[in-house]
Copies of this chain bind each other. A is one copy, B any other.
Amino acid sequence: MLKGRPREFDVDAALDKALHVFWKHGYEGSSLADLTEAMGINRPSLYAAFGNKEELFRRALNRYLDKGPGAAKREALEEPTARAAVERLLKCVATLLTDPCNPRGCLSVQGALTCGEASESIKQELNRRRSEGEQALRQRLERAKVEGDLAPDADPAALARFISTITQGMSVQAAGGASREDLFRVADMALRAWPG
């Protein structure tokens, strides 16, 4: 057993609360006052448990990617064919982006698309994470090419970039108020561009 006074709040629950704040208002748009209020803890507890605002954001982002929308997107890629994987990915993203339980849009897109100089490293981390998602999709498409369920003349990198562009655009659309049905139609139109 650990020594000292035990903390009185649940770290993961508090992290989920922080995630929702960052998700809705972005990194710079979320103040320490907003965060501590939503998390139900006071400032020194936050700093003791999470280090600082930047580390808190990174931990919230990891949670978002590991157990939240990120996990659902990875699962989509496990469909047996590339076409099915992409279709499920697009439908999945459309659904997640318009989940009434969550803020509209995607944290890794809206978290810090622009920011002041002080938050540049957060912006770059989000760029990196989005790029990683795109590369995972590219690899799935390359595998599909080897397995023969993607046309031999298809360009996995270009296709992955195209699909990523769609999902990122959907995030902007969702933030602007687009409905789930709107985004489903966008997904359908995107699939018409499928090679072969």
Interface positions of A (Cβ within 8 A of B): 24-26, 28-31, 34, 105, 109-111, 113-117, 119, 127, 130-131, 155, 158-159, 161-162, 164-173, 175-178, 182, 185-186, 189-193, 195
Contact = CB atoms under 8 A, between A and B. Distances in A.
A168 B106 CA distance: 14
Contacts of A177: 127
Contacts of A119: 29
Contacts of A167: 169
A125 B105 CA distance: 17
Contact of A25 (B116, B161, B166, B169): B116
A162 B178 CA distance: 11
A133 B191 CA distance: 24
A169 B165 contact: yes
A167 B177 CA distance: 17
A29 B115 contact: yes
A110 B116 contact: no
A127 B170 contact: no
B127 A31 contact: no
Contacts of A28: 28-29, 116
Nearest to A117: B25
B162 A113 contact: no
Contact of A30 (B116, B165, B190): B116
B29 A172 contact: no
Nearest to A34: B116
